[in-house]
Amino acid sequence: MEITATRDQVSRALTQLNQQLIGLGLDPDALIRMELVLAEALNNIVEHAYCDAGHGNIALEASVHSNTIWCHLTDSGRPMPGGKLPPARRYDLGALDVQDLPEGGFGWGLIHDLTSSLIYDRSGAQNRLTLTIDLDC
């Protein structure tokens, strides 16, 4: 599917995709993991690759084979910083006061935790992210 790079359109596309895949009888827990990973990856593209400009396209392809959900995301926004995937950021929450609790920075941690593989490459003016979610884990 083609998604215009705004938060509203990402939200709408994920709801639609989830309904389609529930209809296929896929494991509900795998769909939760997929929706979460895609929400983080897509909103990163909206926010960072397209700088919240309110336009730009994201192509999302999802397929299921070999007990795995495969997702391919392609966009024409800015490349990832340094041309590579950002690392997962981890917080020591127990050491923080209430007012210092983080309100962001969870996205890549969630993506790394919930995917079984994650590949980024820049090809010409396009970012391509391929990720897989195991159906049973």
Partner 1 sequence: MDITCETQGPVCIMRVISDRIDAAIAIQFKDMFRDMVACVTGPVVLDLGQVTFLDSSGLGAVVAARKLLGADRTLELAGLNPAVEKVMQLTRMNTVFLIHPNRDAALAAHGVAPAA
* Residue 83 or 105 having the CB closest to partner 1: 105
36 in helix, strand or coil?
helix
Choose among 102, 97, 10, 16: nearest CA to 56: 10
- Here the tokens at position 80 are 């990832």
Angle between helices 28-44 and 7-23 (to 10 degrees): 160
Please report, as a single letter, which amino acid is at residue 49.
A
- Compose the 58-97 pattern: x for residues touching partner 1 by CB under 8 A, - for all others: ---------------------------------x-xx--x
56 in helix, strand or coil?
coil
Stretch that binds partner 1, among 30-38, 54-62, 75-83, 125-133 (CB under 8 A): 30-38
User: Is 11 an interacting residue with respect to partner 1 (CB under 8 A)?
Assistant: yes
Judged by the rule CB under 8 A, the positions of this chain that interact with partner 1 are 7-8, 10-11, 14-15, 28-29, 32-33, 35-36, 39-40, 43, 46, 91, 93-94, 97-99, 101-104, 106-107, 109-110, 113-114
